[in-house]
Amino acid sequence: MSIFYDDQTKTFTLQTAQTTYQLQVDPWARLLHLYYGRRIGDDCMDGLYPAMDRGGFSPDYYETALQRGAASPDIRPQEYTGFNNGDFRVGCLEVTAPDGAAGADFRYTAHRIYRGKYTLEGLPSAYDADQEAETLILTLEDPVIGLRLELLYSIFSRQDMITRAARLTNCGVGDLVLDKAASICLDIPFGKWELLHFHGRHAMERQPERRPLMNGIQTVSSKRGASSHHHNPFLILCAPQTNEDAGDCFGAMLVYSGSYRMDVELDSLGLTRLTAGIHDELFRWKLHPGESFTAPEVLLTFTHRGLTALSQRYHHFLRYHMCRSKFTLARRPVLINNWEATFFNFTTEKILSIAEQAAALGVEMLVLDDGWFGKRDDDLSGLGDWQVNERKLPGGLNPLIEKIHRMGLRFGIWIEPEMVCEDSDLYRAHPDWALTLPGRKPAVGRCQLILDLSRDDVVDYLTEVFSKLLREHEIAYIKWDMNRNMSDVYSHTMPADRQGEVSHRYMLGVYKLLERLTTAFPDVLFEGCAGGGGRFDAAMLAYFPQIWCSDDTDAAERLTIQHGTSFGYPISAMGSHVSVSPNQQTGRSAPLGTRAVVAMAGTFGYELDLNTLTEDEKNEVREQIRFFKTHYELIQNGSYYRLAAPDEDAVIWQFVSQDDTEALVSLVLPQPHANPIPAHFALKGLEADARYRIEDFRIYGCRGQTPRAAWLFEREYSGAALMYAGLTLPQLFGDAPSAQLYLKKL
């Protein structure tokens, strides 16, 4: 077993291949965090926290009042905080008893260690495919209010990943009210740390920002009812010297898609505390006696090997322990989506002409985007009415699907199940199915309201509507969109004192609907989307092996979006397409080759009318698809390395196959210079003693000038030469030229 309990010291030690996590029950039965970091063996580390009297402003527990400083909750590292008990740092919990007393103080009562992974009622969480996980469940009680706290830990030793969650149960006789219930507290008592987080906005998601911690609290959060474009529920705490290749760093990824909050506090004594969980604003959960509340999971890791190692751990873990779709590791089709080609303005003929041209060039699936149903010629109306718009598609979907199939393509379709337009039959029939505040006109985003998925009847209705769609048509793929953030949170069936549960119950409803549909239709490939990457999180990956990364398809902007996304999420999860040039979002031009190089750092597909291309361009597309299919395994299932970031002159990344025998380097120069500093790069992840041959070297968008680069063709080098001396690229000209280099081990 990799989880040990030492009865002498009352210490729990969790070992993974390269990390150790340790906690202890103190003499007063309170739980302390002792250590998380590089693997240290089983020594008990309670000596790290000698008693120090800090005076009256960091009070002691009542029982330790005379042993001043021995056990102050305000000073010692905690595993999960109490409430209103003298720990003045950011807390996990706010709870109120029937007499109005707001407080909690937990004591350890029991623990359980077993093989396997815990599951969480109603919430997606990591699974244990290879029977490698071990679980520790610690039970703590506050006997005064009858609140039980269970802290759940599963460790995946080989992956160096620890998953945590918390469950609160009312074991008392009166109702308890939770105003905050975080999933975890992680105290890092020593060291200087920087916060690396991923912020952004619609069409510019997951921009990395790295800052030294300030004293006090810094928050990464969303109150939008979605994990959001604006802050991803994933952060890294790294030592100041940490870079891609070396240095200490912790990762924390919340497995939740709704409003959340991650606080990092640097306290007055140099301790760094991270708490993470559901956002406490608009949250109030009533626990009747016997009821439990489960806080979502957090995926924790630590490495001393830098950011690339940390990212690769998340990539691997999400693919093998979170994504459940059978398509995760399988070869997925190269698709063409009609959205940027036609927007709402299409006919059957138009779709067929796009499909026909795409099929001729090697595309494998056509996706019909928004506008195929109800009264939907723009975004003013129609959401909720999932009957085919026969004016656009006479005879329904099946005749179209048949024709698409005859071209040798599979068929996929766009849906937005969680929404309703006021101008729809569904809304007219069930106005109370939308989230709206009584007596107020709701805020309207994209002319749509949010269906109340906290209600079982609404979830059941949607289950039936979309099951019918999938039962009655041969649909191979679903793009599941969600195009506004949540306001006016109020459910018309929930009692007044439970309205604070609506936004989380909404998420539970979304997960229930997703669970039902993905389980009933396992052969359908589901892609997530929320106005691009507005809900790009680990919980969504449990249902969607891929998520549309951004509504911004401009290659230069995608470089930064995909780069930021790669810190936490795998290439195989990033929906990415080649679109038209000049780009529709920025007006900027980019060569066709560069657009494809960038889209190949993702699931790869097209989103333009291929009929508008010249014959030369069509041949180029044919070759891109051939190239992508040839290197599919390497790109989608290989290890991903960031070689040069978008703030450098050249953006460079590399894939290495799982068996180290192949590598693909991709490079884009967003703005070439006259008399440039040469783009030099060192490869990573190769075998130093092996020899590699550059089998394929391609340059795109170089304005007819073929650089003199003979030394890059058909050359052989040792892995050591490639990794330690590196390669230098010739000068590239043009608007955002790019290159790809494919190497094979001899």
Binding site for ligand GLA (CB under 6 A): 339, 369-370, 414, 481, 483, 529, 531-532, 548, 551
Classify each residue of 655-682 as buried b or exposed e, where b means 16 or more C-beta atoms within 10 Å of its C-beta.
bbbeebbbbbbbbbbbebeeeeeebebe
Quote the least distance from Cβ 335 to ligand GLA, whole Å.
Answer: 12
Please return the burial class of 217, using the count of CB atoms within 10 Å of its CB with bins 0-12, 13-18 and 19+. middle
**Coil vs helix vs strand at 147:** strand
Q: Please list, in sequence order, all residues whose beta carbon lies within 8 angstroms of the beta carbon of residue 171, skipping any fewer than 6 positions away.
A: 141, 146, 147, 148, 289, 290
Quote the least distance from Cβ 383 to ligand GLA, whole Å.
Answer: 9
User: Which of 43, 121, 474, 617 is flagged as catalytic?
Assistant: 617
Quote the least distance from Cβ 553 to ligand GLA, whole Å.
Answer: 9
Quote the least distance from Cβ 357 to ligand GLA, whole Å.
Answer: 20
Quote the least distance from Cβ 56 to ligand GLA, whole Å.
Answer: 56
Is 617 catalytic? The answer is yes
User: Contact, 483 vs 445, CB < 8 A?
Assistant: yes
Q: What's the N-to-C CA distance of the chain in angstroms?
A: 41
Q: Which is nearer to ligand GLA, 370 or 423 (CB)?
A: 370
The edge-to-edge listing of strands for the beta sheet with 11-15 is 3-6, 11-15, 19-25, 31-38
HSE toward the beta carbon, residue 733, CA cutoff 13 A = 9
Tokens representing 674? 């006259």
User: Contact, 355 vs 367, CB < 8 A?
Assistant: no
Q: In terms of Cα–Cα distance, which of 35, 151, 18, 174 is closest to 95? A: 174
The residue behind tokens 């998340």 is 314
Give the C-alpha separation, 641 to 652, whole Å: 9
Q: What ranges in 196-332 are assigned the alpha helix state H?
A: 306-321
Q: Which is nearer to ligand GLA, 605 or 670 (CB)?
A: 605
162 phi/psi in degrees, rounded to 5: -120, 125
User: Contact, 310 vs 301, CB < 8 A?
Assistant: yes
Residue whose Cβ sits closest to ligand GLA: 370
Quote the least distance from Cβ 205 to ligand GLA, whole Å.
Answer: 11
**Coil vs helix vs strand at 531:** coil
Strand locations in 9-146, DSSP E? 11-15, 19-25, 31-38, 93-96, 107-115, 134-142
Quote the least distance from Cβ 477 to ligand GLA, whole Å.
Answer: 13
Give the C-alpha separation, 231 to 219, whole Å: 10
Is 141 catalytic? The answer is no
48 phi/psi in degrees, rounded to 5: -65, -15
Q: Which is nearer to ligand GLA, 232 or 738 (CB)?
A: 232
* Count of other CB atoms within 10 angstroms of residue 541: 26
CA-only gyration radius of the chain, Å: 27
Quote the least distance from Cβ 240 to ligand GLA, whole Å.
Answer: 37
Q: Which is nearer to ligand GLA, 280 or 551 (CB)?
A: 551
The residue behind tokens 């005076």 is 55
**C-alpha separations of 606 from 362, 409, 505, 583, 596 in Å:** 11, 14, 37, 13, 9
Quote the least distance from Cβ 482 to ligand GLA, whole Å.
Answer: 9
User: Which of 280, 385, 537, 609 is flagged as catalytic?
Assistant: 537
Active centre residues (catalytic): 537, 617
